[in-house]
Amino acid sequence: MGIVRKTRSVDTILELFEDTDHAFSGVSLIERLRDQMNKTTVYRILDRLEDEGIIHSFQDQKGLTWYAKCQSCASGQHTDLHPHFQCRSCGRTSCLHVKITIPLIRNHQIEGAELLMTGLCDQCT
Amino acid sequence: MGIVRKTRSVDTILELFEDTDHAFSGVSLIERLRDQMNKTTVYRILDRLEDEGIIHSFQDQKGLTWYAKCQSCASGQHTDLHPHFQCRSCGRTSCLHVKITIPLIRNHQIEGAELLMTGLCDQCT
DNA sequence: TTGTTATTGCAACCTTGTTGCTTTAATTAA
DNA sequence: TTAATTAAAGCAACAAGGTTGCAATAACAA
């Protein structure tokens, strides 16, 4: 059994992430769930889901935290290396399921990498 | 003539960035320059230097803003696409002067990309 | 040297996120 | 089914990073 109890709040958040590569910012989730749960609860559930390997988080260029569903991560470690895309016009942010090549750097032991691509999505071009 | 007047404060900050690929976080600059200028001044000078294409900024995984010198950027647009590295042990963060390949994404007009690599630097392995 | 304009300092503020503690809800044991 | 246990939620207060408005000062041009 995992650490995360399946409460009403957890279910509500999990439903949002289901079947989509769309990412949600912490702020947008707090706003969206304002009537259903406290912001502390939102952050704590996101933390727990990330610890369990169910979602992952990343930062955008403004320093905001975004969350999206994991495709193939295990509890405790996130192994699904993929880039994220953020549209500068509409702000929509999502996972891109393409392989990326991380350069080897002499004298550096690389453990992780995060690639954020920005531009215009198909809706906004 | 550029927008940025060469004041004592601007000179102090520019000296830090000279001849190094080392990046500085906003927070660390405020701390370091605490006796010489106000934090508002630090942020405003960083903004102006970035507008002029003299430095560039990026975010780390905690959402902190880092600043480093540009190699080949022009006023108003940053064109020097390169990854950044942050050591998880000592926190040192720097520009990596290697070419990176940005994947083409169908239906997306990619305008920028930011790759942050993390791991251990040579001092910390 | 004076007038003009950019820059600085300061205080107050905003946003995002966290912490401590009490209350409530979910699970387990009886 | 109920009681005991433990995780989760709510709330208020706080913290860090960064921004804003405005008055005071410094830089530059005439």
* Neighbouring residues of B66: CB distance < 8 A, sequence distance ≥ 6: B23, B24, B25, B26, B57, B58, B59, B60, B84, B93
* Percentage of the residues of chain A whose pLDDT score is greater than 90: 84
* Percentage of the residues of chain A whose pLDDT score is greater than 70: 91
Phi, psi (deg, nearest 5) at residue B37: -160, 165
Residue that the structure tokens 């022009």 belong to: B74
pLDDT at B93: 97
Strands A84-87 and A109-120, bridge-based pairing: parallel
Query: pLDDT of A59-116, one tens digit each?
Result: 999 999 999 998 866 666 666 789 999 999 999 999 999 999 999 999 999 999 999 9
* B42 located within any domain: yes
pLDDT at A77: 66
Task: Provide the CATH number for the domain around residue B69.
Answer: 1.10.10.10
Q: Is the pLDDT of residue A1 over 60?
A: no
Give how far B120 is from chain A: nearest CA, Å.
5
Mean pLDDT within A5-19: 94
Q: Is the pLDDT of residue A12 over 90?
A: yes
| B111 contacts in chain A (CB < 8 Å) | 88, 118-120
CB of B43 lies under 7 Å from some atom of strand D: yes
Please state, in angstroms and rounded to a whole number, the distance separating the CA atoms of residues A49 and B111: 32
Mean pLDDT within A37-46: 98
Return mean pLDDT, chain A. Answer: 92
Of A11-25, A38-52, A58-72, B62-76, the one with minimum mean pLDDT is: B62-76
pLDDT at B102: 93
* A72 located within any domain: yes
| B119 contacts in chain A (CB < 8 Å) | 108-112
pLDDT lower than 50: segments of chain B:
1
Helix (H, G, I), strand (E, B) or coil at A90: coil
Task: Supply the DSSP symbol for B77.
Answer: B
pLDDT at A4: 78
Nearest to B109 among A105, A112, A125 (CB): A125
Please tell me the pTM assigned to this model.
Answer: 0.93
Number of structural domains, chain A? 1
Give how far B26 is from chain A: nearest CA, Å.
13
* A2 located within any domain: no
Please answer yes or no on whether B108 and A119 come within 8 Å at the CB atom.
yes
CB of B47 lies under 7 Å from some atom of strand D: yes
pLDDT at B75: 62
* B125 located within any domain: no
Residue of B nearest to A109 (CA): B120
Domain of A72, in residue numbers: 8-119
* B99 located within any domain: yes
* B2 located within any domain: no
* B3 located within any domain: no
Contact between A43 and A27 under an 8 Å Cβ cutoff? The reply is no
Instruction: Locate B38 and state its tokens.
Output: 């106000």
Query: B114, B121, B124, B125: which to substitute to probe chain A, counting the most A Cβ within 10 Å?
Result: B114
Helix (H, G, I), strand (E, B) or coil at A93: strand
* B92 located within any domain: yes
